[in-house]
Structure formats: structure tokens, C-alpha cells
Amino acid sequence: MYSEQVLREGLKTKQFGCKIYTFDTIDSTNNCARALAGCWAEEGTVIISEEQTAGRGRLGRPWLANPNENLTFSIILRPALLPDQLNIIPLYVAVAVTQAVERVSGLKVECKWPNDLLIHGRKFGGILIEGSVKQNAVEYVVVGIGINVNQERFAGDLAKTATSLRLQKGAQIDRKRLFGEILSSMEAHYATASNSHFQSILPLWRSHTSMIDKKISVMEHGAMVSGVVRGFSPEGGLVMETDGKERTFFAGDVTVVGS
Ligand code: BTN
């Protein structure tokens, strides 16, 4: 379905989507983006594919999406951040994608730290950030975005946890329009948030999550840690109170237990 020409129709961005590489099938758009980024592809370059044969999510999980129904794409960024400031990037992307999805679908989106997008507690979108660091500087960041747009059936365990915008809205969503809105939203926030090392994204992130004061469990290096979410650190970490002490997590698999 995708052709660069069709995707460009109505695209309002300057930098994001400066180059768009389209594929019918690819192993993973993130793999392709990393290869291009390593060869000095311009910031804002997009790789989009109808189908991924080895699409992946966080923590080594597969990302499965039917062709012709969803959005699976990656964008190359070169943010002026130090390597230890990169944990804020998933929050920036989640806010930008959330606002675009809300605008196009009229649905209310919930962000789950660090990079899951949910509607009514079911996941419809995920973000995979992969960066390259050289001599203590960020060389590039690849932002991989997977959105279940019009898929109506999910196989196996996903049937219990996944959803799509089509299922939630009860109507088809225009994928091309959503793609354009996501790029616009990302570009707009990138321009403003870059000036503050992305700190300005934190109040927006807080307004799109209901995790604060919720009981959660975090799987960290094979061990389960339980506690209550107290907030998010300026670097994008999750602040959890556990055993009377506050701890900040920068990675891990979070399960929300209750309030
Ligand atoms: C997650 O929820 O764990 C993140 C999912 C990210 C999936 C997207 S689809 C486009 C890009 N290419 C990949 O292989 N993964 C990301």
C-alpha cells in the first residue's frame, strides 16, 4: 500500500519525513534505520514497511502486526543529549504519538511507562528506542513505532491484552492521516523540547498517565520489586517507593497491580 508519494500527500513537516523509504516486507524497520543512521542518513529519515518478518519490541519480545492494517515504522533522530539523558526520549515519543492518535481517533490514550500506549487498559501501540553512542556522545537514536490501527483479530495471548484503534473506535482509521499527524506531532514537540533537554515533556507525560500512586511490580534483572509509583525523574526514570525508600528505575517490565 505504501508509496512515498502517497505518504507525502498532506504531510506538513519539514524535517521529519525528509526522506521516506517504503517497503512491502522487511525484517525490521529498526534494523534498516540503524544501518542508514550509521551511514549518516539525515535526521528525520523514515523507514516504513507493510510487513516485518522480525519486528521486535522491548525486552526481546516479537512485535506482530498484520500487513495492510497497521503502522510499523522507524525514524532517525540525532538529539543533542548526553547518553545518560536518553531515557527521556521514550516519554517524548509517547506524548507526541498519544496526541496524534487522540486527534485522529477522538479516543483517550493512556501512557504506561516507559513506552506502552493503551486504551481501556489494552495495548495498541509500542515504542522501541535504540541508540548508538560514540565517545560518550549520542551518534543517533532510532525510534521504532508500532500502532495497531485497523487490525481486528489478535492471536494467542495477545487476544487478552492487545487492541487496535479500529476495535476501540468501531470504525476504520485512515493510516496515512495518522502517519502524517504522528510526524507533525513529533516534529513540533522535538523543536520545543530540544531546548530544555526534553524536560518540558514531563508535565505532558504526567497528564497522559494515571500511574502515579498506583501499586506496581517491576521486573528488574529477573527479580520482582513491588511498590507505589511516586513520580517520574527529570531523566525519564520511574520513581517508586518501596520499603519506605524511593528508588528510580530506568528499565524494566512494569505491571500495574492496583490503586
Ligand atoms: C514494544 O512495545 O515493546 C515496542 C514495539 C515497537 C515495534 C516497532 S514496529 C516498527 C519498529 N520496528 C521494529 O522491529 N520494532 C519497532
Quick check: CB of 28 below 6 Å from ligand 1? yes
Full residue range of the structural domain in which residue 247 is found: 215-256
Whether 168 and 231 map to the same domain: the answer is no
Same domain, 131 and 32: yes
Q: Are residues 171 and 234 in the same domain?
A: no
| The amino acid at 18 | C
| Ligand 1 within 6 A of CB of 249 | no
Phi-psi group of 117: left, alpha or beta (phi > 0 → left; psi -120 to 50 → alpha; rest → beta)? beta
> From ligand 1's centre to the CA of 242, what distance in Å?
31
In the structure, what pLDDT confidence band is assigned to residue 202 with cuts at 50, 70 and 90? Answer: very high
CATH of the domain at 222: 2.30.30.100
Q: Looking at the structure, tell me whether residues 194 and 246 fall in a common domain.
A: no
153/95 same-domain check: yes
Q: Ligand 1, closest atom to CA 27?
A: 14
For 50-67, how does the pLDDT look when each residue is reduced to its tens digit (9 = 90+)? 999 999 999 889 999 999
Percent with pLDDT over 70 in the chain: 99
Residue 73 CA, closest ligand 1 atom number: 10
Grid cell locating 109:
490514550
Residue at which a domain ends, from 189, 206, 223: 206
Work out the average pLDDT over 74-81: 96
Q: Is the CB of 144 under 6 A from ligand 1?
A: yes
User: Using CA atoms, how far apart are residues 137 and 113, in angstroms rounded to an integer?
Assistant: 25
Cβ of 74 closer than 6 Å to ligand 1, yes or no, is: yes
Cβ–ligand 1 distance for 55 under 6 Å, the answer yes
Position 42 scores a pLDDT of 97
User: Which among 72, 141, 158 is the best mutation to test ligand 1's pocket, defined by most ligand atoms within 8 Å of the CB?
Assistant: 72
- Domains: count for the chain: 2
Same domain, 49 and 151: yes
In the numeric block, the cell 519486528 is attached to 55
Residues 197 and 227 in one domain: no
58 and 164 share one domain: yes
The confidence score (pLDDT) of residue 59 equals 86
pLDDT tens per residue, range 1-60: 679 999 999 899 999 999 999 999 999 999 999 999 999 999 999 999 999 999 999 988
Shared domain for 108 and 230, answered yes or no, is no
- Distance of alpha carbon 4 from alpha carbon 6, whole angstroms: 6
- Ligand 1 neighbour 57 (Cβ under 6 A): yes
Determine the pLDDT at residue 240: 96
Q: Mean pLDDT over all residues of the chain? A: 95
pLDDT band at 252 (very low <50, low <70, confident <90, very high): confident
Residue 257 confidence class, pLDDT cut points 50, 70, 90: confident
pLDDT given at position 258: 66
CATH number at residue 77: 3.30.930.10
Q: Note the pTM of the prediction, 2 decimals.
A: 0.96
Q: Is 252 left (phi over 0), alpha (psi -120 to 50) or beta?
A: left
What pLDDT is attached to residue 242? 95
Say yes or no: 170 and 199 in one domain: yes
CA of 81 to the centre of ligand 1 (A): 23
Identity of the amino acid at 209: T
In this prediction, what percent of the chain has a pLDDT beyond 90? 92
Q: CA-CA distance, 67 to 51, in Å (whole number)? A: 5
Q: What pLDDT was estimated at residue 17?
A: 98
Are the C-beta atoms of 73 and 48 separated by less than 8 Å?
A: yes
Ligand 1: centre distance to CA 51 (Å): 12
Identify which of 113, 145, 154 to mutate to test ligand 1's pocket (most ligand atoms within 8 A of the CB): 145
Q: List the one residue out of 16, 136, 33 whose CA is nearest residue 86.
A: 136
Higher pLDDT, 247 or 257: 247
Based on the domain organization, do 180 and 223 belong to the same domain?
Answer: no
Q: Is the CB of 51 under 6 A from ligand 1?
A: no
- Examine the domain organization and report whether 223 and 196 are in the same domain: no
pLDDT digits (tens, 9 = 90+) for 112-161: 999 999 999 999 999 999 999 999 999 999 999 999 999 999 999 999 99
> What per-residue confidence (pLDDT) applies to 96?
98
What per-residue confidence (pLDDT) applies to 1? 65
DSSP string covering 194-241: GGGTTGGGHHHHHHT---TT-EEEEEETTEEEEEEEEEE-TTSPEEEE
Phi, psi of 212 (to 5 degrees): -65, 135
Residue nearest to atom 7 of ligand 1 (CA): 146
Question: Would you say residue 221 has pLDDT above 90?
Answer: no
Q: Assess whether the C-beta atom of 112 lies below 6 angstroms from ligand 1.
A: no
CA 198, 204, 210, 216: dihedral to nearest 10 degrees? 0
